[in-house]
Structure 1
């Protein structure tokens, strides 16, 4: 079944806004630029969106929905044998880097747009902190780990790796996921230390 003309126009507007927000920032982009990029008119824009802010909200909401499956993975650790936990989390990190690679413009928007980006980041950190505290009580994580600090460290690490390596495709998502997991689970010190 083919898409209706209205659906195609709406998607063009969203795609154009996503591209321009990533390139110029939300505040540096106008509705006129969005419709010009989409090859549409301002009248068409206002058929589908009330404002530029509504588009930004939708971009964030769509990304949050995709991201939720990865953020909630910590709730599932007790369903795995201890020997499978590292593999499960490694696959989660790989999936995250794949998601980021498939949404390069959205990632740039999320990381660069202060208010909504920070709100999303805070929600993710809080969910990971909650998951880790639960897993700590189940004996999956060491009791001496400060789960709040670790949640911040994990999110900051993933964020920075995605910005530095993932978005520009210096390394594959699999390589990045395995590297992060290796550092988190194996440490960086040699056995001789």
Structure 2
């Protein structure tokens, strides 16, 4: 595989990746052909092979792009130990909204990396582990009850987020702000009427 050179090469590669992301998300891995990708990218097949050795290679790169971006995003949302208690709920709300915004800004890439990837279940396990590590750190900072298992909490939170992505965000039934408010309201205040 020949590496791209200069700005034009980077733009061409980005165009191929954008076309491939759409094709994979719309038609699935097995029903997408390199000819579909190059047609959408307005290129030739030899042009495709300057950047990627195969359909598998571009798919794998898209999956890694998604995972790297999501991993960095989750790491940056870890709460610092200096947040005032009265600001905690708002800070959690902002973090969850940023996460939902990432998925809505990248719907096709989310489908490729979170749903279609052949190892998506093991990847989800790694994301849950990363969430649990954040939650444990935040629990040690005194933000959460010490008698809660952050491993189980991470599974619950990720389960909610994953279902809201597929059932609401990807179907345009809600938006990141509203979904984040609902999640925080449920997690912080619970489901039982306390009035």
The residue aligned with 1:144 is 147
Which runs of 5 or more structure 2 residues have no equivalent in the other structure?
Answer: 1-5
2:22 equivalent in structure 1? 19
Aligned counterpart for 1:9 among listed residues 9, 12, 15: 12
Q: Does 1:132 align with 2:142?
A: no
Query: Which structure is higher in helix share?
Result: 1
Q: Deviations over 1:127-163 (max 9, x none)?
A: 1111222222332211221211111111111111011
SS of residue paired to 1:78 = coil
Give the CA RMSD over aligned residues: 1.9
Q: Which runs of 5+ in 1 are unaligned?
A: none
- C-alpha distance in 1 between matches for 2:118 and 2:152: 22
Of residues 55, 72, 86, the one that matches 2:89 is 86
Asked if 1 retains the 8 angstrom alpha-carbon contact of 2:113 and 2:120, the reply is: yes
Q: Is the 8 A contact 2:79 2:138 kept in 1?
A: no
Q: What is the CA–CA distance in structure 2 between the aligned matches of 1:183 and 1:77, rounded to whole Å?
A: 22
TM-score normalized with structure 2 length: 0.88
Q: After alignment, is 5-14 or 62-71 more displaced?
A: 62-71
The alpha-carbon deviation at position 58 of structure 1 amounts to 2.1
For 1:118 and 1:125, how far apart are their aligned partners in 2? 11
